[in-house]
Structure 1
Amino acid sequence: MARWADVEGDAPEFAAAVRRLFEAGKHKTLATLRRDGGPRISGTESEFRDGDLWIGSMWLARKAVDLRRDPRFALHSPSVDPPEGDPSTWSGEAKLSGRAVEVPGDGSAHRFRLDIDEVVWTRVGSPADHLVIELWRAGQGLRRIRR
C-alpha cells in the first residue's frame, strides 16, 4: 500500500492529472463491500491533505460500517461525457483502489485515510480511435496501455 505522496513522488505528472480529475467536482463514487460480500455504491467527498487522500462519513453510515468491517474500497472521480466534436480533448476519468484506515475522531463522524494500491487514468487517445489507460500500482510504478 502507498500514500498519495508516494504516487506524486513516483509519477508526478500522472498524479497531478489524476488529482485534477478528483478535484474537478465535489461528489465522488465510493464502492465498498456489504456484509454478504456484495458491492455497495455510495456518494462521498474526498480531500487531498498532507500527502494523503481522505474521506469522511456520517457516524455509522453504511459505507463507514462496511469499511470498518472490510477496508477494501474503490473510488471514482467525478465524470463528464467526452466532447462530441473531438473526444480526444476529454480529460478522462480516474479511479483508485486500496484500503481505508479509520483515524479516531470525536465520535460524531468517521474519518478514513485511503491507503492506495492502484490508480487508473482513462482517456480517449488522439486520434480518437483508441483509449489510453495509465495504471500506477504500489511497488510497480506507472505503465501505459493502448486499447
Structure 2
Amino acid sequence: MNPTGTVRDTRHPVAVATWEEFAADEPEFAALVQRCLDRSITKIVATLRADGSPRVSGFDAVVSDGQLAFGSMPHARKGADLRRDPRFALHCAPADQSDGSLGDGDVKVSGRAVPTGDLTGETEGDGFRADITEVVWTGLNDARDRLVVRWWRPGEEVRRIERE
C-alpha cells in the first residue's frame, strides 16, 4: 500500500499525497487531470499574501518524475508567499471555450508547496513540488447536457456529482 493520506506538515495537519500516489490510487482520474494540465494554455495559482489576502498569478506546472512541479521567478512574490505559507490552489481552465462549451473540463488542485531548491538553466528561480490535498475536475457528461464534478482527496475514492 502506498503512503497516500500521510500528514507531512504538522503546521497544517491535512492528508496529502504526491502526484505519483494520486496516480497510483486513481490512475484513470489522474490521466484525465494530467491531459487537462498538459493541454492548458493558462494556469493560475492562488497563494496567500503576508496579510492573509489572496494573490493570483499565472504560472506553469508540469507533472515530472511522479511530482506536480512548478516554479517561481527569482524574487517573485508568489515564491515568497509559498515559502511563508505553503498553501496554494491551482486552476487550469479549458483550452478552448469559444463554442460556449467546457471542452475537456477544467481542473483545480489544492495543496501545500514544498520547496525543491533553486531552478537553474534556461529558467532560473525557486522550484516547488506539490503535496496534494484535493483534485477537482469539472466538465460535461457524455451527452453534454449536465455538469459533472469529480473530486479526490488522499485516502478517499473519487466522488462524482451531476448537476443540470
Q: Using structure 2 for the length normalisation, give the TM-score.
A: 0.81
Partner of 1:50: 65
Q: 1:92 aligns with which of 97, 105, 123?
A: 105
Q: Distance in 1 between matches of 2:106 and 2:117?
A: 31
Partner of 2:10: none
Identity %: 47
Deviations 1:61-82 (A, max 9, x none): 0100000010000011142327
Aligned length: 144
1:142 aligns with 2:155: no
Q: Which has the higher strand share?
A: 1
Partner of 1:8: 23
1:102 aligns with 2:115: yes
Q: Using structure 1 for the length normalisation, give the TM-score.
A: 0.89
Unaligned runs of at least 5 residues, structure 1: none
The verdict on how the C-alpha distance between 1:14 and 1:82 changes in structure 2, with shifts beyond 3 A counting, is farther
Partner of 1:115: 131
1:81 aligns with 2:97: yes
1:38 aligns with 2:50: no
Query: For structure 1, which segment, 56-65 or 72-81, has the greater mean C-alpha deviation from structure 2 after superposition?
Result: 72-81
Deviations 1:85-117 (A, max 9, x none): xx48x2111110000001122685100011100
State the SS of the aligned residue for 2:139: strand
Pairwise CA RMSD:
1.9
